[in-house]
Every structure is written in structure tokens, then in C-alpha cells.
Amino acid sequence: MWILARVSGLSASAALGISLLTGVALRSAVLDWLATNRAVRATHEFTAVLWIPLGLLHLVFLLLDSNVRATLRVVDLVVPFQSSIGPLALGLGTLSFDLFVIVAITGWLRRRINPVAWRWLHRLSYLACALLFLHALLGGSDFSSPQVSAITWSVAAVLAVLSLARIAWGRLSAGDSRELRR
Amino acid sequence: MRGVPAWALKGSAVCLTVLATFAAAGYVGGHVRDRAAPLRPSLHPDTGQVALGPGIQATSSAPVTETHES
């Protein structure tokens, strides 16, 4: 279970990376060269089918692990910074999980929520991703390895640059993105 | 330009996730014991093996019962 929990955690991170990339691309037009916004949006919405089950499997496998179960309670997966071991590292993961739950639920209820409120709620995913990265970094598992560390830092750096560009310059119009490609 | 269709992007996302899962399984399978992970099984400091402590510890206090021989 310990191995499965780590594998599902890593693959959930990969799926979340794709989700964040397609989400940022929707607003920054960085994938305009590859596909239409409609296709990128469909992919972004589809990635929830990937990262939500993998993230839940990560939690389930942790709870099923006999060693972890002795120290981690179910409530520690929902209420952050309460666990007796690694409270900061695990608490950041819990907080990230809570934020992703909010983002996922409000994503499904988008049509029923005020657009401005929904946009701000959806922006919590940036914070959740940053907290998830810190959770993986401080949690230690696998990040001590150069292979895992190099890949994850590279992906995180790309996503951070795109996110900051999105915050700084907002959405590029189709004309702007065509100009940039010339 | 119409660009890559949505189904191809979705398929690529699935393939990337599956690839990441296999890569993670390969890596984790080869690195079962991770000293840095807070939730990992406790390891013996010298051998690096998983340390399984006994459920009942020996006491240092004097015995309180006597046998026929003693």
C-alpha cells in the first residue's frame, strides 16, 4: 500500500500538471499554435477524470497502509496541520486537497454560480497546486531522488512561468499570439 | 488552421498520465525504502532495514513473582 500510495501520488501530480497547463493555456493562449481554445477547454475539463480519482486513490492507499494507519487518522486528511507526524508537510497536502475539492465542486456547479465568484474560486487551484508542490517537497518521499526532483522542478518551473505571465499580462488576444509567433 | 482535435488532446493527456504512472511505479518499486519520507516505515539507523519494534517491551524493574525453584 505504501508503494501504491506513492505511485498514485506521483501520477496524480502529473495529471494535475496537465490540468493546470491546459487551464493556463485557456487564458494565456500559449497552446494556440497546437489546438483551438474549444479543444483545449474540453481537455482541461476532461483532466478532472484523471487527477481526481488518482488523488483519492493516494489518500485511500495511505489509509489502507498498516504503518501509516497507526499514525494518520481519517480526520487528518480533511483538517490540516493536525497529524502527529510531519504536521506541516502533511497539513499542506490536506489544505491542498481541501482547496481542490472546492475547485472541483464549483467547477461542476459553474452554471449555478456567479461568474465573478466562480472565477475567484477557480483561481484557488493556483494556490492548491503551489501547496501540493510544497507538500511533495517537504514530505520528502521521492523528491530526494535526482530523477524525480529534476522532472518535477522543471514542470513546476514551466507552470510557474506561465501562471505568472498569465497574472502579469492577462489573456493574449488571438492577434497578439499570432504576432508573438512571427 | 484547425489544430489538433479535442479527442487527440484528451488521448495525449491519458497517455501522459499512464506513462507517468508506469514511470512512477518503476521508480518507487526500485526505491521502496525512502529515508526522507515522514510517513515511511521507521528504518534502523545502521542497516537501513525496516525496524519493527516488539509490541511488548522488556522492563528494567525487579520481578514481582517467584517460582518454586527460586
Contacts of B35 in chain A (CB under 8 A): 144
Which of A18, A144, A72 lies closest to B28 in space, CA to CA? Answer: A144
Tell me what the mean pLDDT of segment A127-137 comes to. Answer: 86
Cβ-nearest to B38 among A39, A86, A147: A86
Cβ-nearest to A50 among B2, B17, B29: B17
Which of A74, A85, A83, A36 lies closest to B37 in space, CA to CA? Answer: A85
Q: ∠ CA(B21), CA(A55), CA(A130), 5° rounding?
A: 100
Distance from CA of A168 to the nearest CA of B (A): 27
Residue B4 has pLDDT above 60, yes or no: yes
Contacts of A10 in chain B (CB under 8 A): 20-21, 24, 27-28
Compute the distance between CA of residue B70 and CA of residue B63 in angstroms, rounded to an integer: 12
ipTM: 0.75
User: CB B21 to CB A46 under 8 A?
Assistant: no
Residue B64 has pLDDT above 60, yes or no: yes
Residue B41 has pLDDT above 90, yes or no: no
Beta-carbon contacts of A13 under 8 Å, excluding residues fewer than 6 positions away, are A132, A136, A152
Cβ-nearest to B9 among A40, A71, A140: A40
C-alpha cell at A31: 497552446
Q: What is the pTM of this model?
A: 0.72
Most confident of A6-15, A135-144, B35-44: A6-15
Which of A135, A110, A137, A141 lies closest to A48 in space, CA to CA? Answer: A110
The overall average pLDDT reported for chain A is 81
User: CB B40 to CB A40 under 8 A?
Assistant: no
Residue A108 has pLDDT above 70, yes or no: yes
B3 compared with A98, residue with greater pLDDT: A98
SS3 of B66, please? coil
